[in-house]
Homo-oligomer: A and B are copies of this chain.
């Protein structure tokens, strides 16, 4: 079973190809929908009185355990308003209202504490530590964060990172966290903090995996004719990645498994961006996911024939 803590939100999204005023979102929601293809997911979070049974049903229909979602009678659900540029690589936040997340104090149920896998989605690092401390003996733990915590709560964030096996983070944030421009070198700096695995999310360029024992693996994103809305792609990726590990309870979490998991994350994330918010994940079928996962292996494999190197014959000038 997987426990995830993170935002549950309403997003107002504007992209060149789609627009929505009150779209179900939040890191924990995107993560849970993706991971639910592989294992039971327990969501820890908070919503306000504006969060209806209809929204809850999006999760429960996928077998997600929502008993850890607290509903605050006089509160408002976390709200984010943002807009994307032409190539979807630039995102402007117009408004963030924390709502019920302003005074969140997560206490996990007995069941949630027994999770084999734990994902601490992007949220205040103190809360991440608080949740981490409550989960007894997870097989694998991962954490995501963002620029605001790197800048404003650096020490708390470093302490939270020290307590997980894996940091899953955007390339720009990995650079900002470590102050190192080379991602390879930045990953080494994270290993010194505690984690043995760094997964670097690179948006439309895919993702890269670095391990403490020197392994490197990278895959491009799935090639798509049109990206509708990238919101939540990173959390969907994390859901596919952690979900895949959860789906293989008997296997050791070694490089081979982590590679397959990364490919799985990329495959699931490719669907997320094809619709507004969680739209596409809600209709995603197993066969479609399987197809893209297998495509990815084809898209990146080549047989290295011997390089046709020649001895240069110095030419006359």
Interface residues of A (CB under 8 A from B): 16, 36-39, 53, 56-57, 59-66, 86-88, 172, 175, 181-185, 188, 202, 204-206, 208, 210, 216-220, 223-227, 244, 247-248, 256, 259-260, 262-264, 286, 289-290, 293-294, 296-297, 299-310, 312-317
Contact = CB atoms under 8 A, between A and B. Distances in A.
A200 to B, nearest CB: 10
B62 A312 contact: yes
Contact of A300 (B65, B86, B217, B244): B217
Contacts of A305: 248, 260
12 contacts: A36-B312, A66-B315, A205-B205, A205-B206, A205-B220, A218-B220, A219-B220, A248-B308, A256-B303, A286-B309, A293-B307, A297-B301
A308 B86 CA distance: 36
Nearest to A85: B181
A284 B88 CA distance: 38
B86 A317 contact: no
Contacts of A300: 217-219, 300-301
Contact of A317 (B38, B53, B217, B290): B53
Contacts of A36: 312
List the number of copies, as a whole number: 2
Contacts of A299: 216-218
Contacts of A224: 182, 184
Contacts of A227: 181-182
Residue of A216, A259, A310 with most partner-chain B CB within 10 A: A310
A208 B223 contact: yes
A17 to B, nearest CB: 9
Given A300-B217, A302-B217, A38 B310 contact: yes
Nearest to A261: B302
A225 B39 contact: no
